Structure formats: C-alpha cells, structure tokens
Structure 1
Amino acid sequence: MAETVSRPADPADIVSVVTAGVAARSPFDPVSHLRLMVDGRHVGWLPRKHADILAGFDGVLGQPDGQGAITLLPGRTTVPARNAALATLATQLADAGHVRGWRNELFAVTPTLEAEPLAVIERAAARFLGLLTFASHMNGIVAGQRALWISRRSPRKAVDPGMWDNLVAGGMPAGSDPLETLVRECDEESGIPPALASQAEAHGVIDVLREIPEGVQWERVYVYDLMLPADFVPHNRDGEVAEHRHIDPEALLAIMADCAMTVDATLVTLDALRRRGWAGIQP
C-alpha cells in the first residue's frame, strides 16, 4: 500500500519537512539525564527517572557526583564481575517489566567502538541505561537507475514496528565490527550474498542521541551504500522484514516527510540522496 502525504512541490521544502520531522522525534535534555560512567569512562546517558528505579537495586549505582555523572557498578572492578552483575540486572529489569524485546544478544558497554569493552549486557537493556550502541545501515542503490530498495520492519519488532527502514540495518553485537555486522544482516534481512555485500562502500558515521520510550537511543551509525544489480530482488530470511520496496527518490522523500521511516534510517537515506544530488538535494 503506497503512502500519500501532502507536501510542497519544491524538493528543498520537502527536505525541510523531513528534517523538521527528525528534529521533532529527537528530543534530548541533558539536565534530565546523568552521564553514566564505568571505570571513569562515559558509556551512557542514564535518564534520571531510570536512576530512581535503579536505586532500588543494591550496588548498581553509586552516588551522583554533583556534576551530572553517576557510576554504574561502583563495587565491580573486573570485566567478569561486571558481566555477571549486568546479566542479573537485565533479567531483573525484564522481570519487572522495565525492558522488553529480549534478544539473547550481548552489546558492549564501552566509550568507543575501538576500546576494549568494560562489560557486556543483554541488548534489550541497553537503551534503558542509555548506553552508547553501534549499528550498520546500508542504502541499497539500484545500478543504472535513479532508485533505491528500502524495507519495512516487521510489525512484531519490539522497536519501531512497521516503520520503513534502510534496505539493511542492524545493531552491532559485542565483538563484531561494522562491515562484519553489515554482511551478516545483508544475508538475513535481504538475501544479499556475502560476496556482494562485502562490496558495500563506507560513507562515514552518523551519531544519534534522542530520548525514546525505552530510555535513550545513543547510537553511532556506520553508513554504507551497496550498488545492487538491476535485476536483484531482495528477500527476507529472518522474519524481521515485512516487505521490500523499489522506490524513486521523490516517493522516498514523501515517506520520510510523513515520518513513516525510522529516525536513523531517515538520516542515512538523506545522506545518500545528498551525495548523489537526487531529488534536488545538493551534496
């Protein structure tokens, strides 16, 4: 079913609508959050209301330092000890209904992708704590055409169900890297074989920081483009994609202007359109 949206005729005006929509969906008030620290490193933005919840769990948080920072697991000084404590905490939070969408997948607790993880935690609990996370997103560009492939998230997804997304997008588990994550997700989400997926071109990083119902999305998104053969038709293999769509830039802008695409995918898509000068968007 095609989306319809009342939009300006000038592409630049449409882009303004899109960016305004992203801004409206991306509030963040630092005063309402605490800088979450582990071993003196900033690893997250903890909502103060979640700090109040965690105060009921013994030994999880230290005392705020008076400068907007608080330490996670102050009594644990080794990675194994932190891992064990966070595994218990994630289970307790899920049992209490504070986190949902359990993944059985571990995310790193870290200040940067390059640093050795200070701990790992169940993915479902990462945004409750406002942890820095990492993801790979890919624009599927159709060779020889002014068109892209996009995907719609399954209505059963715990996060952004039913929304439009980049052709391939996936969170980066602990121990993985951006391209490895992308190649795996290409196969699972769109049936793109590894030999083709590994040809994806890297186009930098987009940082996302916003308040969401689960807590905070603080995510470093690694951006890729992949040129797909004109006769390639994606097919989902893991049940996480409801449909794929071959689409031109103008129709894609309409979807984004209607806020029907996720925030991170919208930013990644705008980046691709700008680089190509498509739909009147200048690089």
Structure 2
Amino acid sequence: MTLPCITDARRFDVGAHLPFHIGDERVGWIRENDVALLARWPDVFEIDGDADNARVTLAPHFDNVTARSAALGSVIGALAAEGRIPGWRNETYAIRNAFDATPLAYIERAASRFFGTMTYAVHLNGVVEYAERAPQLWIARRSDTKATDPGMLDNVVAGGIGWGFGIEATLVKECWEEAGIAADLAREARAGRTVHVLQSLPEGTQAEQIFVYDLALPADFVPHNQDGEVGEHRLARIDETARWIEEGAMTVDASLATLDCLLRRQWIDEDACEGIAAIFEPPTL
C-alpha cells in the first residue's frame, strides 16, 4: 500500500525551480514563476538563466549575516505587502542547511517557503498505554484559522523551531502552548527518528527536517490548548489513526511523525508503508 503522505513528502519537481544560493552554497529553491518577481531587485539578486547553471544568487556584496538579512528583509516585506508571501508570523528563522550550522541570514518565517530554505520542526506523539487494553494516541485538529493546513488532523504537539530555540526548549514550549503539558512532563519525551520532507505547496517549497518525539501521557490527562492554534483534541485508537493517515485526513508532517511512532513500537507492519524508509533520509537532488 502506498500512503499519500509518503508520496507527498517527495512531491517536488526540480525542473520547475531554480536553486537559491548564498555564495557557493545552495540554501533553497525558488519556483520558476517567482524568479521574475526577484528580478525587480537586480542589486539584491543575480539571476543566471543558463540551462546548465540556472540559479538565483544573493549578490556577493552582501558579505555578512547582517547585510544579507537586511537585504532579504526589504524584499520580503515588499512581497508580503503585495500578497506574494502570505501568513506573516513575526517569527525569525535562520537560513542554514544543518540545524547546528552557523546562520547565513535571518528571514521572516513566512518567507521560508517562498525561498525554499531549510526549516526545522518538532512533532510529539502523545501515547496513552493501558494495562488491559490497546494503546491510544492523542490527536489534535488544527484551528480553522491556521495559515497552513487549517482544520486538518495533527499530532498533539507540533511546532516550528525559531531562531534562538533549541529542539528540547521548543518541545517544552510547544507542549504547553498546544496541549497544556507541563514542562516536567514534557521533558520526559523520548526522541524518535528525524523525518525529511521536500514538497511543493501553494506558498512555495517545504524543505524541512522534523524531529519526532514520543511522550507517555497519563490515562487521566486531557490536553488543553493555550494559544488558539488547536480546534480540538481526540483520543484515538491505532486503527483509527492509521485510517486517517491512509485517507489523507492528517497533515503530511503529522502522518509521517505518527507512522514513525507506530513502526518503532511495531503497532503496524512496515510492509504496509511502501517507501517509508526514504523519508528518514535527506532527499538527494
């Protein structure tokens, strides 16, 4: 069985994008149709349309992180004002191809998909295990006002990692904001695997590494959203959750994070997840 989330996690057409470079390092992907928008700033971007070396490069005279951030910020602000970059978040993301790498520039979170830069997120599987019956998972439904995937099913906790936050600090913060999970309990979460997503979306490219965690939650615990980003929570059987994944009712990110949990705990058979191994390895382009 081929699950839609696995296919979607690699639904990316390299030929429809130009690589975005800072210096010699490719840091993102820009849709061909969006390249013309950037041509309005010839002092900021160098655009090479040659078939063998087509790319968009940040002009080399922006030679430090402050200058690069300022130059990109002015462009991003203009594009957002024109509606080209939706869902402004007032959150800072770093442009970096590895989580522990030194940032090359800082940008508004909403612009990361326009430029196709690497982003990082944490997803938490809230697991409830019982002595005499099958385990269950807490599943969230995203608020209808969310900028991305409104109303879809999600992990009980999920959030992007902004600049200045570590993985565990983000996990603790998001646990409280999205589910009312206290810090002491959140710190008991155990790391799963890292999921790698590269997919085309209406707002651009999602190039993201998702750090997956599991947390054993007490049987009497009920999540309570604190920040308005979750519409509801529901406690679901494993077969229900698997059906939602198969039907595409869950976000791609949450589906993959949940499958990681189900596979590691041997609650589903890997043979039922054709192609799943690929999402635990970075895409090769």
TM-score scaled by length of structure 1: 0.89
Bigger mean CA deviation after superposition, 151-160 or 140-149: 140-149
Hey, what's the Cα distance between the residues in 2 that align with 1:21 and 1:143? 26
Bigger mean CA deviation after superposition, 37-46 or 167-176: 37-46
Partner of 2:12: 28
How far apart are 1:86 and its partner, in Å? 1.8
Bigger mean CA deviation after superposition, 74-83 or 189-198: 74-83
Hey, what's the Cα distance between the residues in 2 that align with 1:36 and 1:280? 39
Give percent identity, aligned residues only.
45
Cα offsets for 1:11-33 (capped at 9, x unmatched): xxxxx25x245415752111111
How far apart are 1:90 and its partner, in Å? 1.6
How far apart are 1:224 and its partner, in Å? 0.6
Please list every run of 5 or more consecutive structure 1 residues that lacks an aligned counterpart in the other structure.
Answer: 1-15
Answer whether contact 2:156 2:233 (CA < 8 A) is retained.
yes
The one of 23, 31, 53 aligned to 1:39:
23
How far apart are 1:199 and its partner, in Å? 1.1
How far apart are 1:246 and its partner, in Å? 0.3
Hey, what's the Cα distance between the residues in 1 that align with 2:23 and 2:173? 32
How far apart are 1:74 and its partner, in Å? 3.2
Say which SS state the counterpart of residue 63 (structure 1) adopts: strand
Cα offsets for 1:163-202 (capped at 9, x unmatched): 0111111011012121111111001000001111111111
Q: Check if 1:122 corresponds to 2:135.
A: no
Partner of 2:169: 180
Hey, what's the Cα distance between the residues in 1 that align with 2:161 and 2:119? 7
After the TM superposition, list the runs of 4 or more consecutive aligned residues in structure 1 that deviate by more than 4 angstroms: 279-283
Q: Flag the 1:96–1:243 CA change in 2: closer, same or farther, 3 A.
A: same
Say which SS state the counterpart of residue 174 (structure 1) adopts: coil
The one of 49, 54, 72 aligned to 1:86:
72
Answer whether contact 2:88 2:109 (CA < 8 A) is retained.
yes
Hey, what's the Cα distance between the residues in 2 that align with 1:261 and 1:233? 20
Partner of 2:204: 215
Hey, what's the Cα distance between the residues in 1 that align with 2:186 and 2:23? 37
Q: Flag the 1:208–1:25 CA change in 2: closer, same or farther, 3 A.
A: closer
Q: Flag the 1:120–1:24 CA change in 2: closer, same or farther, 3 A.
A: closer
Answer whether contact 1:273 1:281 (CA < 8 A) is retained.
no
* 1:32-71 alignment, distance < 5 Å: 32-64=16-48, 66-71=52-57
TM-score scaled by length of structure 2: 0.89
* 1:3-22 alignment, distance < 5 Å: 16-17=1-2, 19-22=3-6
Note the aligned Cα RMSD (angstroms): 1.7
Letter in 2 for 1:60: V
Hey, what's the Cα distance between the residues in 2 that align with 1:63 and 1:273? 45
Q: Flag the 1:21–1:200 CA change in 2: closer, same or farther, 3 A.
A: closer
Answer whether contact 1:136 1:171 (CA < 8 A) is retained.
yes
Letter in 2 for 1:56: R
Letter in 1 for 2:193: G
How far apart are 1:68 and its partner, in Å? 3.9
Corresponding residue pairs, total: 267
Letter in 2 for 1:115: A
Hey, what's the Cα distance between the residues in 1 that align with 2:203 and 2:248? 19
Cα offsets for 1:24-63 (capped at 9, x unmatched): 5752111111221113222111212121211122323213
